[in-house]
């Protein structure tokens, strides 16, 4: 965090509730929002992990509330939002970021394996939005869903994630339409490959990493701060007229439906002098 130049005050007076906030991209978002002045509730399954993450965020001198709940459990999420309001104030920013992932071809994927990821990612996002709604209506706040490139296209070994993330983006757009008149904005971020995250560990190996970086037009992995900064922007007044949008923060990687063609083109095409 020391290299981060916070947009001090951009989210002053806001209360942010972030699911999956105990690690990775979502913890990065929490830190960036804290640096911008928001009070932070981080929600996840394991209280000890949340408490450790909360200590890191407190460095910014903001109030942090770690609250344990499983996004698959609507009642638990409703309770978490009630407790957050009592502790920090009414929530005005929600980040639905909790996700699960593993690599598996459909033929090796059990019913329960497919359902588990859909339950965490898609049903979990629905539960988060439902539980947040009353407070977002009160604050005329905004919700950000953490989607993925898998929402846009088919990805090998990722049918469960593709189905869940595509569903999330359609949920996001429907909420933009239904909740727009209530003053609530709804958007998604599509992170590219982000350095040091659980997702990167699960979807790549040291051997395949150079190839993966080659598929990113920006030719680097993203950082959790790249995503955190975008989330601060999307939840700030600077984005006051943006709703129903899917924002790729991916160094251009989601343009990569033709990634192998682009890679091969660099190898064979010799421009005329
Ligand atoms: C095949 C698997 C599997 C694997 C689990 N399952 N891992 N199937 N290959 N590698 C199956 C199990 O066999 C079981 O089905 C079912 O999934 C549920 O498994 P559980 O372990 O009981 O579930 P649970 O404890 O709820 O754990 C959920 C989880 C786990 C998703 C499986 O990995 C998890 O908690 N992950 C959270 C952290 C995480 O994944 N972070 C990365 C997010 S990255 P059966 O039939 O045996 O009962 C991300 C990025 C997306 O989302 C895009 C990036 C570009």
Return the pLDDT at 4.
53
If you average pLDDT over residues 170-191, what whole number do you get? 98
- The pLDDT score that the predictor gives to residue 270 is 75
198 CB within 6 A, ligand 1: yes
Percentage of the chain with pLDDT > 90? 86
How many domains are contained in the chain?
A: 1
Q: Whose CA is nearest to atom 16 of ligand 1?
A: 113
Q: What's the pTM?
A: 0.94
Catalytic residue among 147, 151, 188, 236: 147
**Residue partners of 238: CB distance under 8 A and separation at least 6:** 10
Assigned domain for 3 exists: no
Closest-CA residue, ligand 1 atom 26, reads 116
Give burial (CB, 10 Å; 0-12/13-18/19+) of 98: buried
In a domain, 189, yes or no: yes
Is the predicted pLDDT of residue 2 greater than 70, yes or no? no
Q: Is 5 within a domain?
A: no
The mean pLDDT of 15-25, rounded to a whole number, is 98
Residue nearest ligand 1's atom 53 by CA:
148
* Domain residue limits at 131: 15-268
Whether 2 is in a domain gets the answer no
Residue 101 CA, closest ligand 1 atom number: 40
For the stretch 50-100, pLDDT in tens is 999 999 999 878 999 999 999 999 999 999 999 999 999 999 999 999 999
Q: Say if 6 falls within a structural domain.
A: no
Residue 165 annotated in active site: yes
Distance 120 CA to ligand 1 centre (A): 9
**pLDDT at position 7, please?**
59
Which of 100, 121, 222, when mutated, tests ligand 1's pocket best, judged by the most ligand atoms within 8 Å of its CB?
A: 100
Pocket flag, ligand 1, residue 147 (CB < 6 Å): no
Q: Specify if 4 maps to a domain.
A: no
How does pLDDT run across 135-144, given as a tens digit for each residue?
Answer: 999 999 999 9
Identify the pLDDT of residue 1.
43
| 3-state secondary structure labels for all residues of the chain | CCCCCCCCCCCCCCEEEEECCCCHHHHHHHHHHHHCCCEEEEEECCHHHHHHHHHHHHCCCCCEEEEECCCCCHHHHHHHHHHHHHHHCCCCEEEECCCCCCCCCHHHCCHHHHHHHHHHHHHHHHHHHHHHHHHHHHHCCEEEEECCHHHCCCCCCCHHHHHHHHHHHHHHHHHHHHHHHHCCEEEEEEECCECCCHHHHHHCCCCCHHHHHHCCCCCCCECHHHHHHHHHHHHCHHHCCCCCCEEEECCCHHHHHHHHHHHHHHHHCCCCC
Q: Is 262 in the pocket of ligand 1 (CB under 6 A)?
A: no
**Chain segment 233-254, per-residue pLDDT in tens:** 999 999 999 999 999 999 999 9
Determine the pLDDT at residue 156.
Answer: 93
Q: How far is the CA of 102 from the centre of ligand 1 (A)?
A: 5
Q: What is the CATH number of the domain that holds 77?
A: 3.40.50.720
Range in 4-13, 77-86, 106-115, 160-169 with the lowest mean pLDDT: 4-13
Structure token pair of residue 141: 């706040």
Q: How far is the CA of 113 from the centre of ligand 1 (A)?
A: 7
Ligand 1 neighbourhood includes 202 CB (under 6 angstroms)? yes
Question: When comparing pLDDT for 215 and 38, which is higher?
Answer: 38
Average per-residue pLDDT in the chain? Answer: 94
- Supply the pLDDT for residue 224: 98
Question: Would residue 146 count as lying in a domain?
Answer: yes
In which band, very low, low, confident or very high, does the pLDDT at 267 lie, cut at 50, 70 and 90?
confident
Residue 115 among the catalytic residues: no
Alpha carbon distance 38, 263 (integer Å): 42
Assess whether pLDDT exceeds 70 at residue 20: yes
Instruction: Given the residues 23, 125, 165, 235, select the one marked as catalytic.
Output: 165
């Amino acid at each position: 965090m020391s290299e981060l130049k916070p947009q001090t005050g951009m989210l002053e007076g806001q209360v942010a509730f972030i699911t999956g906030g105990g690690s990775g991209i979502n913890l990065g978002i929490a830190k960036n929002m804290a640096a911008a002045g928001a009070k932070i509730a981080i929600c996840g399954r394991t209280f000890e992990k949340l408490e450790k993450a909360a200590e890191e965020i407190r460095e910014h001198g903001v109030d942090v509330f770690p609250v344990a709940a499983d996004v698959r459990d609507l009642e638990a999420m409703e309770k978490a939002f009630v407790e957050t309001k009592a502790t920090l104030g009414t929530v005005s920013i929600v980040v639905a970021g909790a996700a699960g992932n593993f690599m598996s071809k459909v033929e090796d994927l059990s019913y329960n394996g497919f359902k588990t990821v859909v339950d965490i990612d898609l049903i979990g996002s629905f539960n988060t939005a439902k539980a947040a709604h009353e407070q977002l209506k009160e604050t005329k706040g905004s919700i950000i869903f953490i989607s993925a490139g898998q929402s846009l296209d088919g990805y090998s070994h990722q049918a469960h994630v593709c189905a869940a993330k595509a569903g999330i983006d359609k949920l996001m757009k429907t909420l933009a339409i239904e909740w727009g008149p209530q003053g609530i904005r709804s958007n998604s971020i599509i992170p590219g490959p982000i350095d040091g995250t659980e997702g990167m560990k699960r979807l790549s190996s040291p051997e395949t990493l150079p190839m993966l970086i080659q598929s990113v037009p920006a030719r680097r992995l993203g950082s959790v701060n790249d995503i955190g900064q975008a989330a601060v922007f999307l939840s700030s007044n600077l984005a006051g007229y943006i709703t129903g949008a899917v924002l790729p923060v991916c160094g251009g990687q989601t343009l990569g439906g033709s990634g192998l063609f682009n890679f091969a083109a660099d190898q064979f095409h010799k421009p005329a002098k």
